[in-house]
Amino acid sequence: MKVPCSSKESSAGILPGGIYIHVPFCIQKCLYCDFYSITDLSVADDFLHAVQTEIRLRNKTDNLFDTIYIGGGTPSALKPLKIKTILKAVFSSFAIARNAEVTMEINPGTVDSADLTAYRKMGINRLSIGIQSFFESNLRFLGRIHTAGDAEKTITAARSAGFTNISLDLISGLPGQTEKSWINDLEQALLFSPEHLSCYMLTYEPGTPLDRKRKKNLFTPLEDPKAGSLFSITGQFLSRNGYQQYEISNYARSETFYSKHNRKYWRFHPYLGFGPSAHSFSDHVRSWNHRSVETYIENLGREILPVENTEILNREQQIMEFIYLGLRQTDGISMDDFYRQFGKRFETVFSGTITFLENRQWLQTKEGKCFLTPSGMLLLDSIADMFLQNEPL
């Protein structure tokens, strides 16, 4: 199935939306992961049926959508025909832009050349590949199911299948990692000239097996200053190699390859989420689905939308998210946008905090934008808190 030409172009003033589909299956849980997914694929067909029902029930909008993102979990744990079924339902229920970015997350060890060719043929035009590391010892530490060799084969096969927009995920901050070994991971990735890279720092999420091992002192985590220095050299190394950082963890060869879908989350554009735990957002209203696959399937079996909760963001929450999401992006907070949205000048309301942070070279203001420096990026959460706690809103 190809991406069809849309019969409905975006009506003036309405931002094109994004569609997210959460496929909640993984072959095995990675030790660090706290995303919602299950390893029991026996309910995959019931899930497929349920997600098609959800897409049909939510088909109440004339809005145009220009991104589709199939994430998870491991969407490639499902065979191409199943993914095609989901995409077909989306294309037949919503107006999808002619040039829509259609991304799918895949993991090495779950796809072969034929699968990749099938994904490309059905209209998926961007892949996000979970590589994490090219070192076997790191992959084993993280509990990944694949080897470095599998990762290399998958990227090569994706190129052969015709994918010209590929993003690779890597993780830094692993125990024992050095600047040299992290740069080596980045160099390995660049051998494949990916259009996009997402470089995340390892975090120990409460309740994950890795966090439990850490608490039992079964390994020695990398010290914070060392992890911070790996973050800093990532930006410098990738910039020397032609990649622009546009968000705290994301780099692209040019603006063309910025993730259009993920930018919607950071810019308050509307999006619709399908599947267990998926979130939707529009006009300051956020809702999210039940996390449990069983509850999700059971609700949709009765033709009930599987929404667990809805919140209307109040003014304080809107300001909080505007600041936090703005600071994540390298082009920062637009002070004019802040004024348009909240009726107050950002630089006036937050003058004390801005001066404090500028004096420490953690933040800069230039040409109507307020953005974090590379050293400020390391302190993102604390700096966002500072804005929210120190100033009257």
* Residue nearer to ligand SF4 on the CB measure, 67 or 74: 74
* Residue nearer to ligand SF4 on the CB measure, 26 or 157: 26
Query: Shortest approach of ligand SF4 to residue 389 CB, angstroms?
Result: 33
Angle in degrees, 0-180, between the axes of helices 113-121 and 80-93, rounded to the nearest 10: 10
Query: Shortest approach of ligand SF4 to residue 247 CB, angstroms?
Result: 19
Query: Shortest approach of ligand SF4 to residue 171 CB, angstroms?
Result: 10
**Residue of the chain from 130, 270, 275, 306 that contacts ligand SF4 (CB under 6 A):** 130
Which residues are 279's β-sheet partners?
A: 288
Size of the site for ligand SF4 (CB under 6 A): 11
Query: Shortest approach of ligand SF4 to residue 148 CB, angstroms?
Result: 16
One character per residue 352-391, x = contact with ligand SF4 (rule: CB under 6 A): ----------------------------------------
Query: Shortest approach of ligand SF4 to residue 72 CB, angstroms?
Result: 5
**Residue of the chain from 52, 53, 67, 74 that contacts ligand SF4 (CB under 6 A):** 74
Under rule CB under 6 A, residue 125 binds ligand SF4: no
In 10 A of CB 290, how many CB atoms? 19
Under rule CB under 6 A, residue 72 binds ligand SF4: yes
d(CA 227, CA 231): 6
Listed ranges 24-32, 112-120, 241-249, 319-327: which one lies at the site for ligand SF4 (CB under 6 A): 24-32
40: exposed, middle or buried (C-beta count within 10 Å: 0-12, 13-18, 19+)?
exposed
Angle in degrees, 0-180, between the axes of helices 293-301 and 44-57, rounded to the nearest 10: 50
Listed ranges 66-74, 216-224, 297-305, 366-374: which one lies at the site for ligand SF4 (CB under 6 A): 66-74
* Residue nearer to ligand SF4 on the CB measure, 36 or 94: 36
Q: What angle do CA 59, 60, 65 make, to 5 degrees?
A: 70
Is 208 in contact with 182 (CB distance < 8 Å)? Answer: no
Listed ranges 69-77, 118-126, 170-178, 270-278: which one lies at the site for ligand SF4 (CB under 6 A): 69-77
Interaction residues for ligand SF4, span 261-300 (CB under 6 A): none
β-pairing, 363-366 with 369-372?
A: antiparallel
Interaction residues for ligand SF4, span 92-111 (CB under 6 A): 107
* Residue nearer to ligand SF4 on the CB measure, 103 or 107: 107
Is 48 in contact with 1 (CB distance < 8 Å)? Answer: no
* Residue nearer to ligand SF4 on the CB measure, 189 or 202: 202
Under rule CB under 6 A, residue 35 binds ligand SF4: yes
Listed ranges 22-30, 184-192, 230-238, 252-260: which one lies at the site for ligand SF4 (CB under 6 A): 22-30
**Residue of the chain from 3, 19, 21, 26 that contacts ligand SF4 (CB under 6 A):** 26
Listed ranges 4-12, 72-80, 338-346, 385-393: which one lies at the site for ligand SF4 (CB under 6 A): 72-80
Q: Which residues bind ligand SF4 (CB under 6 A)?
A: 26, 29-30, 33, 35, 37, 72-74, 107, 130
